[in-house]
Structure 1
Amino acid sequence: MPIPEDVTGDEIDKDVRQELQSLPKTLADDVARNLVMVARLLDEDPEGAYGYSRVALRLASRVSAVREAAGFASYANQKYGEALAEFRAAKRMTGNIDLWPVMADCERGLGRPEKALDMAGAPEVHKLDKAGQVEMRLVAAGARRDMGQLDAAIVTLQSPELASSSVQPWTARLRYAYADALLAAGRESEAREWFAKAVEADRDGSTDASDRLAELDGVEFVDAMSDDDEGEGADVAPEKPEKPEDPEDKD
């Protein structure tokens, strides 16, 4: 796959660069450049990121950073079986348990919420840092919702991190998940309160809490182009219905 000339490979984290030193220099540079492309495209173009991750994997499958990058690229494309295999490989190579929450979420993606809950109660969770423990709590709550246990999901999210007034990198997502669970349980006024709190903490727009809050407040957004396009509908072909999701996409 083509790589822009401005991508040198030096952009990657120094720890990853150090890990790549076990490879011949030319090969290490090629792998590094592909990993940079994975990181660049992961959010905006997950399919492209996946393509570059497969190239890196073909070049250096014995490098843990490559397996981890391939796992996140697969995860972003809802290829949960592949992602779980790559994360497990990376964990075996390093002994690092930082990937435990996302591995548990892969189990959810594969339709195994019970397995995700088992992982949430495993000893590995106690070895996670605070961010990892919060992430694990979010996964566990999601698993409860998958199983139709809304009240249990709400209780799972209730924690010192949720009650804290300080804003951490996980605060907006934690408050958002709590608000969403409350709304699903029919507790609309409480949900509105927590969506508002999520908005306060969401400094980088990582959630759509502001839209959800506006929706609860009955605010409607009008498309400024709608009036101009009103008389042109006869010239526009109807949209094709979306293709149903293939269950195999999660394998």
Structure 2
Amino acid sequence: MTVLLSCYGTNSLFSLLNHGTPERHQYLVRAVKWSCGDLHKLGHPRLHQLLAQTLWKEKNYGSARYHYLRSEDGGGCADMLVELHLLRGYPSEIDLFLTQAVLQYLCLQKKVAASEVFETYTKTHPTITKQRGPPFILPLLNFLWLLLSTIESGKVTYFTVLCEQYQPSLNRDPSYREYLDRIGQLFFNLPAPKPQPGPGGIFGNLIQGLLGGGLGDDDSDDEGHMGGASSSAHQVPLTAEELD
């Protein structure tokens, strides 16, 4: 209870600090480090949730998304992503905004949050609700639906076949392969792929950024944390599109 009350107080002070000031960034760094512990190595999920809500109200979508991923609030993340896509995304990216979030939640071993972001997004996005799925019209949505079920089954054969069958859709974003490699290790005990040439190996800075990275504390940090989208993300009319 003491920790939760401290999280509320910490977020209240954060919301009072001026946007983009060095003091705000320093305060956030120290606050998140304070909330870390054996069970919450990336910071307390409740604090991340409160920070995400504050940043969302400020329309700082990139940083809000960063903190939502480190919380347990998949439903809140989905609501924000729906708003973001409707305001600034292309119609063709409706499934990409969700796919990136689900895969990243799974890489952080947050199965419940991954399911919540999927369920909420598909049930509240006005375009998707017209499809009355599952199954859905968009292949990536079907992939996510089946992936979450496959993880519950724990059957590696299903996972392998699923990834193979949906490879054309997964090729829309090269980061998906790296996330799925990680998911295969975490949930199906698959071996890590052999390192590829280039800095950082097969996972590079992508997974490392997700597991650690910056703190997404101001508008300038949107770049590198936003995510929604795929390789076409650079074309989205946002100030920040790339994910960790």
Could you state the TM-score of these two structures normalised by the residue count of structure 1? 0.40
Could you state the TM-score of these two structures normalised by the residue count of structure 2? 0.41
Higher relative contact order (Cα pairs below 8 Å, separated by 6+ residues): 2
Task: Tell me which structure has the larger Cα radius of gyration.
Answer: 1
